[in-house]
Structure 1
Amino acid sequence: MRMPAFLGVFALSCMLVQTAIGAEPTDKVVRIAQIVIDPAQLDAYHAAVKEEMGDSVRLEPGVISIYCVAEKDHPNRLHFFEVYASETAYRSHIASAHFQKYVATTKNMILSRELIETQPVQLSAKAP
């Protein structure tokens, strides 16, 4: 049985963020998003999302990590794993100018979006 792609992203990302967030993730907000992009607009989407993700991590102290991966056989199916320091940090992120620019820029590129609410159980990673 094949593991759903978002579970693989979640497992890998949990391993990568532990050192940044500590052993007790209960106050963290972890979001998973699955997005399908119009294949004809994939390059433009990649440019927009890379800019937004870079700005988010660089400018927002409450953004702990954001990961985006594409399925090998379906490169227009993207999976995001995001960790925020708190609900307040997440709310600040979605209200930020760079996130609002991303929303406006990509709204016609996105064919479907599924947001998955999660409850962190344990986030572990090896120290770099």
Structure 2
Amino acid sequence: MAGMFLLATMLFSSGTILGQKKEIMVRLSEIEIYPEYVSQYKAILKEESSASVKLEPGVLAIFPMSQKNDSTQIRIIEMYQDKDSYQLHLKTPHFQKYKTTTLKMVKSLKLVDMNAIDPESMKMLFRKMEE
């Protein structure tokens, strides 16, 4: 048993698996909501994003926003510790509730995976928020 723990520690230490560094997953969700559902959708989204950040260690940030001049246009910056954390997020009860209750409210959805240009600055952002 101790040998398995040592092996797991070696494989997963420093965010690496067998020498491969796990990368933070960043995604931009571009969502258009039908106008009659905007306030209801925002309330459900606020509940889901808050639960995700509070309850899931692998969720670094879920930051929902709406365009100033068009409240039907929602953008969400999502940051996960890695792709595995994202996959776990999709299976949580709060995400499943969000997805099923808002399905009829969404006119369009586009998920855009992003690459961080300066990941070191991203780390500083989180440190600054703690100050």
TM bucket by the smaller chain?
Answer: 0.7 to 0.9
- Which aligned segments of 4 or more residues in structure 1 are displaced greater than 6 angstroms? none
Relative to its length, the structure with more strand (as a share) is 2
Correspondence for 1:66 among 62, 67, 90: 62
Within 5 A, what are the aligned runs for 1:80-95? 80-95=76-91
In the other structure, the counterpart of 1:79 is 75
| Structure of greater relative contact order (alpha carbons < 8 Å, 6+ residues apart) | 1
Distance 2:44 2:66 in 1: 15
In the other structure, the counterpart of 1:28 is 24
Distance 2:115 2:69 in 1: 29
**How many residues align structurally?**
104
Distance 1:57 1:45 in 2: 18
Letter in 1 for 2:76: F
Correspondence for 1:97 among 87, 93, 99: 93
| TM-score normalised by L of structure 2 | 0.75
**What is the alpha-carbon root mean square deviation over aligned residues?**
1.6
The CA deviation at 1:69 is 1.1
Distance 2:67 2:108 in 1: 15
Question: Quick check: 2:35–2:72 contact (8 Å CA) kept in 1?
Answer: yes
Relative to its length, the structure with more helix (as a share) is 2
| Gapped regions of structure 2 (runs ≥ 5) | 1-21
In the other structure, the counterpart of 1:17 is none
